[in-house]
Amino acid sequence: MIRVPLISALLLAALLSACDRSGGFPAPTGSERLSSAERIARDFLVTQEVLTNFQGVDERLRTECKRAGGSGAICSSYRISLINQGEAIRPGEGDWAIYFHSIRRSLRLLNRDDFTLEHIKGDLHRLTPTEAFTGIAEGETLAFDLLAEYWMQSESDFMPRLFVVDGAGKAHVIASTDSDSIEGLALPITSHHPENWKRTADDANTLATPASRYAAFSTRQPDGGESWRTRIIPRPQLLEVTGEPVRLRTGIAVDAGPLESRSLHAFRQRLEQLGLAPSGPGAYPVRVDIEPEAFREKVAGAYTLQTKARGARIIGRDQAGAFYGLQSLLALVDLRSQTLARVRVEDAPRFPHRGFSLDVGRNFHSKAVVLKLLDQMAAYKLNRFHFHLSDDEGWRLEIPGLSELTEVGARRCFDPGETRCLLPQLGSGPKSDNSGSGFFTVEDYIHIVRYAAARHIEVIPEFDMPAHARAAVVAMEARYRKLADESAQRAAEYRLIDPQDDTQYLSVQFYDDSYINPCIDSTYHFIGKLIREVQAMHRAAGAPLASWHFGGDEALNILAGNGFEDAPGSDPDKGDVASVKRQMPWSESPACQKLVPKGEVEDLGQLGAFFAKRVSRLVAEAGIPTLAAWSDGVKHIENAGEMLATKRNYANAWTPLFWGGGAESVRLADAGFGVVQSHADFLYFDMPYELDPKESGYYWASRSTDTRKAFSYAPLNTAQLAEISTDRDGRGWSAMSPAPEFEKSVQGIQGQLWSEVVRTDAQVEYMLFPRLLALAERAWHRAEWELPLAEGQNFSARTAAVDKASLDADWNGFAAALGNRELLKLDLSGIAYRIPVPGVVVEDGALKTALPYPGLPLEYFDGERWRELETSVSADAVWAVRARSADGRRTGRAAILRALPAANAQR
């Protein structure tokens, strides 16, 4: 037992915050007859903190890591503290155990022998008191020091909703942790060591501070003039300013006879959203025509636009072009002055695939946020919505005839047998109403597809397999058990495992039962059923299913007894690869072993290609022209045109560029795939905006991906990015350009949001915006600073081929339009975008501030309350500075200049 008579000021502030989140904890009374588990759930406060984040500073940690089997002997340590604010918990007072979530596999309990530690499934772990447990008195702290695989560099690594399970098997969430927020639950990463924000002792990154932000923002100040009024996002091919802006007195009236009624309705909804719907006879008139013959080049989505004093005219090459012309018209509106820029525009998209992928499998996100996302995709001319509808932690679409997929696979609760639901994961806790539970009905999905089609967006459904498929596996096992006594044949019809497969593995996400078996016919019965049912939904929506994405992500990243991120180009000497023998997936499956002598596969290493080929036949037989996968899923396909049955095939190339992602893209192109550039270090929007442990996000690919970094992405010549970016450790990397022919294989680019630490719809919006606008810019417009491909050209931090001044100027124009005009439109659309943390310095007694884009009001904290920041304020009076949203209704995270009084900082 660790006794803590005095609590530090830092811990006290965290505990007070935890009390605020939970509404306070009533003092127990003697008349209450609650079980020990119920009292723990009610009375215990919890904090979590990193102790040591890399083995270089603690030789004992390295030794313990090797002994516990940590991958590559890389481990960190952290502490879970449970502070008893109620009556004593006595030894032998009923059976109970504490369950907690950890994205890192916790290997060993370092500081006590009165509890046992067990890894249950995925991120779920359990602490159980032994006979040596002597109880915990009122006011005492139960501290668990844990050894964890790899490192913990962000406060968002810590998950909420710890829970206690009593002797009867009933789960009780610890009230102080029952929130999607981790404020007060996660203590600062640097509490125990000033360099715990680093991954290794020689990490070369720069921690975000008020001063470092100021240095970054102030060196690239957006254009202070008026050019932002004519800057369309995404930038068109040609724009000429033809006169002074036009005053919009009573909104905009559209005459769009040729435009499909559903698209016209969508546009009018957008006018209403922005307060630009016609409100009187003086509304600004806009005429829309569709004239394919007016365009020399046959590019889908091309349009022209001219805004004049007395009206505007849009000519689209097709329906999409006419719709995009209307979006550009709205982009020219300054809502504050109610003016419209007068310009002439000729425009067409650079890529046919301008996509975004949303993961609703790890954590569920509502139809409402999906529709909001589709609205913004349309506003900025993105046209592919990649819908990640299943993963290990959840199945999210109702499939007629397979009710278990949503009855079991879409719910999380505490059911050890998983007959009713999946086990809690990712901070969801055991309650039925949690971030991990939910699904889209058939009607919901039809509505989403129809809504997207009206905005010229194709919905691409993805059901990830054969890996990342635990929700489906568990659900179909529940179906099998339900039907086994009734009909063995019917029960096995959609079963996804070989019951005789004894392969031992642990997936990247620490599951040992998450893989669909590719060697059994029932797997393909299941996939065929999915295709038919989803295809019927698309038909009902009036938008035929054009693409099927089977996932294929991380299908071979399995280790015997260890899970890790299989990084191309990783360095074993740095511990990036586990020092254990790889085990072949399905190696003990009799069904798979039979395929080799039959000649269906040369060896079990070809099962990935075998699976892709069989899925392609099902997709082709359904009349769906396009098959898609993550690059992992087709890595063994050498010639897509010969090996796959589908007419068109593309792959998302996701590997970080500093790990060889550019070479991966070229390999896919050489194998005959269309390439959709999706590189994680630039286009994964679950990465944090900046290197600050308080900034939410995963960080295995990038410690910081702000809007400017996404803007600087060069989708054709990704090698040039080695000149202007670093790897995840802040170090330079190098790359070589492919031959010019590679450009023909690139179908487009796609941004991604994975949801492991994104539990709420508000967090979705925070992570996506405003980065989504930078994605749209690069998907639509080829910038002057993007270099042509010259085979064999080398790039690194030492080369100087990129015109950085041109890049800065381009960013400045984009940032000015974003800050002065577009953020207010996001506000009016109900988008809770990330408000940037200001850069702040004091020089010669004067307070200086900077933001990455203009137009946002600033305020400062004077020690008692927040006030509007004025140029005359004395630097001595400023404790912290923060920005507000463009509409002034929300505040961002503050830049702290000196420690805030805990009681006053919340005002």
Locate tokens 């449970």: which residue?
Answer: 82
Residues 6+ apart with CB under 8 A from 568: 655, 659, 660, 661, 664
Task: Give the pair of three-digit tokens for residue 471.
Answer: 């929700």
Amino acid at 81: S
* Counts of helices then strands in the chain (DSSP H, E): 22, 34
> Bridge-partner residues for 790, per DSSP?
none
Residues 6+ apart with CB under 8 A from 417: none
Task: Give the pair of three-digit tokens for residue 618.
Answer: 């099902």
Q: Is 172 left (phi over 0), alpha (psi -120 to 50) or beta?
A: beta
Structural element, H or E, at residue 15: helix 9-22
Distance CA 643, CA 624 (A): 17
DSSP for residue 838 = P
Helices (H), 542-660: 590-593, 607-621, 640-643
β-strands 746-753, 353-359: how paired? parallel
Residues 6+ apart with CB under 8 A from 349: 299, 300, 301, 302, 324, 381, 779, 780
β-strands 547-551, 458-465: how paired? parallel
Distance CA 702, CA 623 (A): 39
Other beta carbons within 10 Å of 751? 26
From 319, 67, 54, select the one nearest 199 (Cα to Cα): 54
Angle between helices 771-780 and 367-379 (to 10 degrees): 40
Is residue 467 within 8 A of residue 523, CB to CB? The reply is no
> Bridge-partner residues for 290, per DSSP?
316
Catalytic residue among 477, 554, 664, 777: 554
Q: Is 122 left (phi over 0), alpha (psi -120 to 50) or beta?
A: left
Amino acid at 809: A
DSSP for residue 413 = -
Q: Report the SS3 class of residue 202.
A: coil
From 603, 581, 840, 567, select the one nearest 729 (Cα to Cα): 567
Distance CA 434, CA 428 (A): 6
Task: Give the pair of three-digit tokens for residue 473.
Answer: 């596996």
From 661, 799, 796, select the one nearest 725 (Cα to Cα): 796
Is residue 720 within 8 A of residue 803, CB to CB? The reply is no
- The distance in angstroms from the start CA to the end CA of the chain is 38
554 part of the active site: yes
DSSP for residue 714 = -
Distance CA 373, CA 12 (A): 40
Distance CA 506, CA 564 (A): 9
Q: Report the SS3 class of residue 867.
A: strand
From 811, 823, 724, select the one nearest 221 (Cα to Cα): 811
Helices (H), 519-606: 521-541, 590-593
206-212 long-range Cβ contacts below 8 angstroms, 24+ apart: 206/691, 206/730, 207/691, 207/692, 208/690, 208/691, 208/692, 208/695, 208/704, 208/837, 210/838, 210/839, 210/840, 210/841, 210/881, 210/895, 210/896, 210/897, 211/839, 211/840, 211/841, 212/839
The catalytic residue positions are: 554
